[in-house]
A and B are shown apart, each in its own frame.
Chain A
Amino acid sequence: MNIESQDFYTQIILSMAALVGLTSFLMLGQGRLLRLIFMFAVQGLLLTLTTAVAAYSLNNHHLYISAVLTLALKVIFIPWMLRNEVLKTNLHRDVEALANQTAVMLGGASLMVFSYYVLHPIVQTTSPVMLNALAVSLSVMLLGMLLMISHKQAIAHVVGFMSIENGLFFAAIVATKGMPMVVELGIAFDVLVAAVLFGIFFFHIRSSIDSLDVDLLNKLHEVDK
């Protein structure tokens, strides 16, 4: 498969996939929470654009609704909520010292290769474009996990979790050329619920340990040192 031989829609989808992957990498290396949230919003925006492009080229109108939902939830509401949380807890001045940043980044790059390698056997059954886009979305999910592992702040964990969901969503749009409306609404609702739940969690974590640094949760374990 060569990219020159693909139609314009595929080229756009592939470029979008690359950009979504890039935002995942940028989030991974980001020590400042506000920028992290901003990158998350950008990723949401890219998803919105991808959905809109898919809706336009597939002539699938209910995908527009899904695009609008993504815009409202992932670009505006959740980032706004997280931002408020950060400002309220005065975390925006902290720069998290990321341990082993180079190693984490290189690990991220190898995750990308790994996810490609894992999905490679599927190539016989589906089109190569699908494989590539799926590989990117799998790596976005894995990078989200890595983000949660490498960052300490609970807010970064939420962003990581949401970006895993972004990866899934991207795969769904590209692979199915538009899911049934019910599923989309369901996912959107799930995300909303998750966001609200996280908000409550933050409140509780903060009130019990006075910080959002999840490493401090270690204090709660029951075995005495």
Chain B
Amino acid sequence: MNWLIAILQTTLFVALAPLLAGWLKRCKCYLQNRKAPSLLQPYRDLLKLVNKQPVVSEQASWLFIKAPYIIFSATVLAATVVPLIAVNLPTSASADVIVMVGFFAFARFFLALAGLDIGTAFGGMGSSREMTISSLAEPAMLMAVFTLTMTASTTNLSFAISHVLEQGLVLRPSFAFALFALILVAIAETGRIPVDNPTTHLELTMIHEAMILEYSGRHLALIEWASQLKLMLYGVLIANIFLPWGIAQTFSLHDLGYGLLAIMGKLAVLAIILAIAETLVAKMRLFRVQEYLGFAYLLGLLGMLSHIILEAAR
């Protein structure tokens, strides 16, 4: 039964990710006075790509063709770890938050290799930038995550969320810092403005798109889907760690339904905030990103220090 719910939760994750992307697009359209596409447009796009015949470069090796599957699977695995509608599921015990970061690294590793496989300058450029940004983002992310795990004294996300729930509303300065740090990292890692622009193909600015320039058909569909999933993962992480209220602690139908509604509401609000931020902020130069991520790291560090100094002093 528990395993069933775990599989259901992962499926929900995978199924809802394009919806979140659609909602985000819609919000941005409204904010920018454009006519919004249907909420289901990302599904249609994916379906269209899946049914197309993929074109592969003659320089491509087996790695290029297998990479989308690996990237997608690694992202799905990361999704199994994060509690979406319920805590205490068996899958969340098989891996903790550090392993989740590891899965992201896994997907990124293959994405960057795939970018280098064709032997064009674009692919190399994208890989180089992606690896640089992610290597700066990872310490900031772990700093934020460590703050949480030290408070809850567990690295298991499910137990950490239960811990936050049990304590009720406590004003923790460290959580405020960690929250902001995690938001900044999430924006950098999912390739949103101001770090990367998912809608552009201008060579000076693109990062993620440069790596996947040669992909088409079902391969492209998988990669797009994986990146939508990643966006949703970070959203759920932020929503459920810092505002866990509403998540199901028992597996009754009522609780699960309530949990689903709660997380959808939270994600909708987060997406609106993200859309507003993306509309207001301009994209940065590539070499400003280090300052941006340095700030995220500083926030994470301050969160850690305020945990040690303010909250758990002896």
Contacts and interface: CB of A to CB of B under 8 A. Distances in A.
Interface stretch (B74-82, B167-175, B201-209): B167-175
Contact of A3 (B170, B294, B298, B305): B170
B174 to A, nearest CB: 7
A220 B98 CA distance: 57
Given A21-B302, A22-B302, A109-B301, A14 B173 contact: yes
Contacts of B294: 102, 105
B281 interface: no
Contact of B302 (A2, A25, A116, A135): A25
A105 B301 CA distance: 11
B310 interface: yes
B121 interface: no
A19 B167 CA distance: 22
B309 A1 contact: no
B307 to A, nearest CB: 9
SS of B interface (majority): helix
A18 B302 contact: yes
Contact of A4 (B170, B173, B298, B308): B170
Interface string B298-314: 11011001101111111
B309 A15 contact: no
B171 A131 contact: no
A132 interface: yes
Nearest to A131: B313
B88 to A, nearest CB: 21
B298 A18 contact: no
A71 to B, nearest CB: 23
B174 A18 contact: yes
A11 B177 CA distance: 15
B305 A15 contact: no
Nearest to A19: B173
B120 to A, nearest CB: 34
Contacts of B176: 15, 18-19
Nearest to B170: A4
A87 B95 CA distance: 56
A14 to B, nearest CB: 5
B179 to A, nearest CB: 12
A124 to B, nearest CB: 12
A128 B309 CA distance: 10
A3 B309 contact: no
Contact of B310 (A3, A29, A105): A3
Nearest to B311: A3
11 contacts: A15-B176, A17-B173, A18-B176, A21-B302, A29-B295, A105-B294, A105-B298, A116-B308, A123-B313, A128-B314, A136-B309
Interface of A: 1-4, 8, 11-12, 14-15, 17-19, 21-22, 25, 29, 102, 105, 109, 112-113, 116, 123, 128, 131-132, 135-136
The 8 closest A-B pairs by CB, nearest first: A18-B173, A11-B171, A3-B311, A15-B173, A18-B306, A132-B310, A14-B310, A15-B171
Interface of B: 167, 170-174, 176-177, 294-295, 298-299, 301-302, 305-306, 308-314
